[in-house]
Amino acid sequence: MWLKRRLRIRFSLVSFQFSTALVVDGQIKRLPDEDIQSNVLEIVGSNPADPNATLGIKLPFLVMIVKNMKKYFTFEIQVLDDKNVRRRFRASNFQAVTRVKPFICTMLLKMDEGWNQIQLNLTRHAYGTNYVETLRVQVHPNSRLRRIYFSDRLYSEEELPPEFKLYLPIQQKI
């Protein structure tokens, strides 16, 4: 129960947000992934978002479990800092170098084959300001998501419930 309070974005919520999003020239599918033997979301095409909606999440660690589909992949996090400035952090596997501009920081995202766990500590800013809250998470097409969640700290694999682990424990048949 203690962990559920700290992990604000659950898979069911992520599924609901994506399934109700307006999708133009693309699709969002929930399908089984053979590598991890679990249902995932596959995002293909473009997915415009409502610019006025915010999440208001105050937990500073973002964890994303995403599959390398061998295509261009990008995700973006918009945060509010203690100077009341909205800053964006964009990570992509096609970005050549890290760039810090007044309102956006772009970063190279190196992904291994198959499934990857991406962890971001949002308290450490490239701008020398302090994290207040996460306003938006935008995942661009060409991805398969197992899970996105926020927490108060990074948890070891042993501390996580099965649904938050990359690979589900193998159940032995008796």
pLDDT digits (tens, 9 = 90+) for 49-104: 566 778 888 999 999 999 999 999 999 999 999 999 999 999 999 888 889 998 89
Of residues 79 and 17, more confidently modeled: 79
Q: Is the pLDDT higher at 65 or at 168?
A: 65
Share of the chain above pLDDT 70, in %: 74
Helix, coil or strand: residue 56 = coil
Please report the pLDDT score of residue 62 as a whole number: 92
The label of the residue with tokens 């190196």 reads 110
Higher pLDDT, 129 or 40: 129
Place 17 in a pLDDT band, splitting at 50, 70 and 90: very low
Question: DSSP letters along 117-151, please?
Answer: EEEEETTS-TTS--EEEEEEEEE-SSEEEEEEEEE
For 169, residues 6+ apart whose C-beta sits below 8 A from its C-beta are 162
Residue with tokens 């309070």: 5
Contact by Cβ (8 Å): 21, 43 = no
Q: Is the pLDDT of residue 20 over 50?
A: no
The pLDDT, as a whole number, for residue 34 is 80
CA angle 138, 148, 113 (to 5 degrees): 90
CA-to-CA dists, residue 17 to 14, 147, 162, angstroms: 5, 13, 22
Question: How much is the pLDDT for 139?
Answer: 87
Determine the Cα–Cα distance for residues 94 and 33; give it in Å rounded to an integer: 24
Cα(77)–Cα(139) distance, rounded to whole angstroms? 9
Model confidence at 142: pLDDT above 80: yes
Confidence of residue 127 (pLDDT cuts 50, 70, 90): confident
Q: According to the model, what pLDDT value does residue 8 have?
A: 35
